[in-house]
Amino acid sequence: MRTLGRTKLTLLVALLALGSLATLARLGRPSSQTADENNQPSGEGARDDRPPTLFAVQKNGRVGFINNTGKLVIEPQFDVGYLQFGGDTEFRGGMARIAIREETGGAPAVRQKVGFIDTTGKVAIEPQFDTAYDFSEGLAAVEVNHRAGFIDTTGRMVIQPEWGSARSFSEGLSVVGKDGKFGFIDRTGKVVIPLEFDYAFGFSEGLAGVVVDRKFAFIDRTGKVVLRPPVDDAVGFSEGLAAAHVNRKMGFIDKAGQVVIKPEYTSAYGFSGGLARVMVGGKFGYIDKSGKMVIKPQYELAEDFSEGLAAVEINRQWGYVHQAGQVVIKPQFDRAYDFRGGLAVVSVGDAKGYIDKTGNYVWKPSR
């Protein structure tokens, strides 16, 4: 392996913020929308809830990494590139994505290849892929010549790039697409659920949402349709319930397919820590699993609860509340994100830093 500092090519920390398709649905994807392999991005999958091992920071226009105490572990040395703060974009499974760019002298003028560094800053997997995504369950989706496959942590291609799209593994299966249809493969690359769906979500709590002939249903791991809930569409199950669209409003269903929380919200998100974020009258609040509004709608914007706290916007400033709704970190940031691994990214102007759960900086905003 070689260190990044020895390459003559520009090395970029390619920590791409990739929201899941479930997130897109929660944000109001029309219930009539179907998908093909071109609008279901490769690599997306269920959110990885493992805390990051290292956190990206920016200093003097360069990117390095700190641990959860704020100590620099990898000195700032990388070009900013695609670095995005606030999502699932840090070191996971001991690796982070990097990219190299080089001028081609033709069209396109710049070519990019993606690989991975380890926690020492050394190249663990040489940049060689057109696109690569985070490791999930020991494998990472990669694209070569517009076809998707999977590599293991040594960089070996264990599932050949033959798919039009592929999503990160979730509960042992990956959604793959080809010729406008979707199905599921296992970790050996074997098709275990045929490509017969117009759209498919990853598995969550043993079930996966699918669309066939513009009708929504849930399947089990054998591919059998087990639920046909009376909804237009739904997102993955979280803590036993799934947010669902019914006549342009959102509520929640249980695993029996029954509507258990009335569809009366403009938008609704998955449960986290026993609470779900919902919008009523243009403001966000939080409900419990009975549908009771435990934190009244009052926030211009808000995030889900993570590690007991939720980022909320009050009068155009962001702070944090706990699950009773009390402000525990006063609104003072221009933007704030979920706590992961005990730290949260916050923005002041165009500078970004990290705070702990007391609101103290472990890394002051820098750029």
**pLDDT mean for each 10 residues of the chain (367 residues):** 37 33 29 36 51 84 88 81 47 78 69 85 90 90 96 96 96 97 98 97 96 94 96 94 96 96 97 97 97 98 97 98 97 96 94 96 95
Q: Identity (one letter) of the amino acid at 136?
A: S
Quote the pLDDT of residue 100: 74
Is the separation of the CB atoms in 237 and 205 below 8 Å?
yes
Tokens of 295: 């934190």
Instruction: Spell out the domain ranges in the chain.
Output: 229-291
Instruction: Find all residues with CB under 8 Å of 195, minimum gap 6, and list them.
Output: 176, 177, 178, 179, 181, 182, 183
pLDDT of residue 97: 83
Please tell me the pTM assigned to this model.
0.81
What pLDDT does residue 3 have?
38
CA 337 to chain centre: 13
Q: What is the rounded radius of gyration, in angstroms, for the C-alpha atoms of the chain? A: 21
Q: Which residue has the tokens 């599921």?
A: 184
- Which distant-in-sequence residues (6+ apart) come within 8 Å of 81 by Cβ? 10, 12, 13, 14, 63, 99
Distance CA 14, CA 36 (A): 26
Question: Would you give the end-to-end CA distance of the chain in angstroms?
Answer: 29
Q: Is the dihedral of CA 318, 321, 326, 328 positive or negative?
A: negative
- Determine the CATH number of domain 229-291: 2.40.10
Task: Count CA atoms closer than 13 A to 202's CA, side-chain side.
Answer: 28
Which of the 8 DSSP states describes residue 109? S
pLDDT of residue 62: 79
CA 15 – CA 88 distance, rounded (Å): 8
- Residue 28 CA to residue 7 CA, distance in Å, equals 44
Q: Which residues contact 290 (CB under 8 A, 6 or more apart)?
A: 261
Calpha distance 165→200 (Å, rounded):
12
Q: What is the pLDDT of residue 49?
A: 59
Q: At 331, which amino acid appears?
A: P
Contacts of 43 (CB under 8 A, 6+ apart): 18, 131, 132, 133, 134, 140, 141, 148, 166, 167, 168
Beta-bridged to residue 96, according to DSSP, are 117
pLDDT at residue 48, rounded to an integer: 54
